[in-house]
Amino acid sequence: MIITKQYRCIHSASCLCTKGHLSEEVIFLVFQRLNWNPKSVATLSCVCKWFDDLAKRVLWKEFCKTRAPKMMLDLQSSGSHSVDGNWRALGKLLIYCSGCTKGGLFNSIHVPGHFVYRTRFSRTSGKSFLLPHCRTDVLYVSDPCEHLDQGEEGDIGFFRGIFKSFATSKVRKMLIKREAQLHPTEVCPYCKAKLWSMLQAKMVPASASCRLGAYEDAIEYYVCLNGHVLGICTLLPLSDSEEASDHNMQDIVAIKWKISFDGPWTCNCIYASLPLPKLI
């Protein structure tokens, strides 16, 4: 069901239509009971400006803190009480794969955006997406959201992420120093801010493709003015042979599992066929 924002009233202190409304404290307790359900929060935001403001100030923040507590604690550890681009944008980034449209940022294919069931964000993985002299920056990056069999493009992976304190990061300073150009038309799907191309600025390290299990020359990502990252890659196949035995396929899956959780492994490890102990 699509709900259109009404924005009938801002509910100022003198506004009569606040009479009978629930207080912020009661609404907080209701959504706490709902475990900060994002669909319910989004629905409430569409009712009016007062509810939308409450959702942006309180409810999306609690949603983020509940879904990724350690990550949120780290992002706020510099003393800030908010995050770049607002909590609603961060909440959307946690649960939404933006996909791409033809003629957009990644104009070769069309993959509709969609909500994801579960995503792991990793600060350790984020180091692989930074040039060596920028690795004191903090970047959280998700595992790729896999979209298989995309015609000539093969298996496509979309990933997303967020910088901590992007305004003072070395990556931002380098982008400015290199006079990187903002994209003329496209904006961040999470906060609507302008985007820098890391590929155009020649700031995509080889370690990023290894971390993603992707072809080195088929990875591209952008960072917006608020520090949100979104990118695309062409994933390496698990096997060169379509007639691999069940035993060998089990070995390959096990190695890929090791890449996902233990990394960093080199991309060549994906093709290894050495016998491995069975996973229990």
10 Å CB burial of residue 118 (0-12, 13-18, 19+) is exposed
d(CA 172, CA 194): 13
Contact call for residues 92 and 116 (beta carbons, < 8 A): no
pTM for this predicted structure: 0.75
What is the C-alpha separation between 204 and 195, in angstroms, rounded? 15
Q: Which residue has the higher pLDDT, 26 or 246?
A: 26
Neighbours of 101 (CB within 10 A): 15
pLDDT single digits (tens) 224-267: 999 999 999 888 886 544 433 343 333 333 333 333 333 333 33
Per-residue pLDDT tens over the stretch 128-185: 999 999 999 999 999 999 888 766 767 889 999 999 999 899 999 999 999 999 999 9
3-class SS string, 88-113: HHHHHHHHEECCECCCCCCCCCCECC
Per-residue pLDDT for 8 more than 80?
A: no
pLDDT band at 196 (very low <50, low <70, confident <90, very high): very high
Contact 237, 146 (CB under 8 A): no
Q: Sign of dihedral through CA atoms 58, 63, 66, 71?
A: negative
Cα 112 to Cα 100, 187, 191, 224: the distances in Å are 6, 16, 18, 20
The answer, yes or no, to whether residue 272 has pLDDT greater than 80, is no
Query: Across-strand partners of 114?
Result: 97
Residues of the chain with pLDDT > 90: what percent? 36
pLDDT at 10 over 80: no
**CA–CA separation, 30 and 25 (whole Å):** 9
